[in-house]
Amino acid sequence: MTTVAILPVTDLRGDVHYHAVAGARQSEGRTAGEALDALTTQLPEEDSGTLVVVQHGRPDRYFNSAQQQRMAELMERWRSARDSGTALPAADQTELSLLIEAELAATTQRAAALADASGR
């Protein structure tokens, strides 16, 4: 089963975009559905079973507001680089990748907490 996380990302202008991640595959869209559709086209057909988790962007104990703000800043830089046909500097790309991984880990922790709570 493929797990997809869809993260809302607020850019420096306050606009919200959505970033979908499944392993090394990533996509972006104006809506969560658009980001998911773009990501789905990248998945192999055998990955038809997919779990989607959408995080609504509120800071919590798993991914705090400072992390969210930094990810928004880096996503804005990433979009600017993409739109200008350049690459994000390596250090920024590494930091962005680490923040995305941290948010995915946070999503897993949230899901586990929900499962634990519903099992009581």
Domain boundaries, the chain: 2-118
Whole-angstrom Cα distance, residue 16 to residue 119? 34
Which strands make up the sheet holding 50-54, listed edge to edge?
25-29, 16-22, 2-10, 50-54
pLDDT tens for 26-40 read 899 999 889 988 988
Residues 46, 34, 67: CA angle, nearest 5 degrees:
95
DSSP three-state, residue 119: coil
Measured CA distances, 25 to 4, 15, 84 (Å): 9, 23, 21
Q: Which of 8, 17, 22 is nearest to 50 (CA)?
A: 22
Confidence label for 120 from pLDDT (cuts 50, 70 and 90)? low
pLDDT tens for 100-114 read 889 888 877 887 776
